[in-house]
Amino acid sequence: MTDVLLLSNSRAPGLAFLEHALGAIAEILHGHRQLLFIPFASSQPDHYTELMRDCLAPIDVRVQGAHGDADIHRAIAEAETVFVGGGNTFRLLKRLRDLDALGELRERALGGMPYLGVSAGANLAGPTIRTTNDMPIVEPGSFEALGLIPFQVNPHYPQAQAADPPGSETRQQRIGEFTEENDVPVLGLPEGTWLRVSAGVARLGGSIDCRLFRQGAEPEVLRAGSDVSRLLDLPVRFDTSERAGEPAAGQTARTDPGR
């Protein structure tokens, strides 16, 4: 049974790094004191790892950086918990694939090891990374990700679409294009929010409402703190267009992202 915490962002206005979510982080750690941090989405993994060490020291958590381990396979196999950091999602996925570590990470997380992810790390928990906001700066070989949850997330979802300049493309429009081609729910997580999945229950965290996007439906407001466990059981089909006159491929989400 998966035990997952997916954070939209690391910094909230007026607060220190991850301070807004320290309570949720401490809860999912279940008393574990050692954490494997995967900083591969960042261009400065040493700095990012030190930042995580300083952040989690007050709750007595020791952080090991995966980038400094000569044997990533052993590090994942022995990890009590894993935290995947933010940055560029394409770089993160490519690095894990190049290291032949994606499948091992998935197996540990599906086996019950707590998985924490922020931004790019949250994107990685879905079936694919197709709803990331990042530029594809590298070619990861495939968009398939860990599949720890059956639906997509969109971190950093903007709260006020009305603030966009006239004529500009909005995030809602971009996600709408995804749902035109894929019958897959997308959960928009604004800054300061998170998703916790544990023991078959999915619940929103933070104090800000989230958004749910589905093919052929208007965006749905999900109130802060809501139980969204129904998303764990909704049907998921990739590459099936809703547009008239186009055939529906009906490809279901794969459960094995490979390595």
The tens digit of pLDDT for each residue in 94-138 reads 999 999 999 999 999 999 999 999 999 999 999 999 999 999 999
Taking 80 as the threshold, does the pLDDT of residue 70 lie above it?
no
Look at residue 164 in the predicted model and tell me its pLDDT.
53
Taking 80 as the threshold, does the pLDDT of residue 187 lie above it?
yes
Look at residue 243 in the predicted model and tell me its pLDDT.
57
What CA–CA distances, in Å, run from 160 to 123, 190, 201, 211?
22, 10, 28, 12
Domain ranges of the chain: 3-252
Q: For residue 180, what pLDDT band results from cuts at 50, 70 and 90?
A: very high
Catalytic entry in 3, 8, 20, 134: 134
Q: Is 60 a catalytic residue?
A: no
Q: Is 198 a catalytic residue?
A: no
Q: Is 156 a catalytic residue?
A: yes
Look at residue 99 in the predicted model and tell me its pLDDT.
95
Catalytic entry in 32, 67, 142, 156: 156
- Lowest-confidence segment of 63-67, 68-72, 118-122 by average pLDDT: 68-72
* Class (C level, CATH) for 3-252: alpha beta
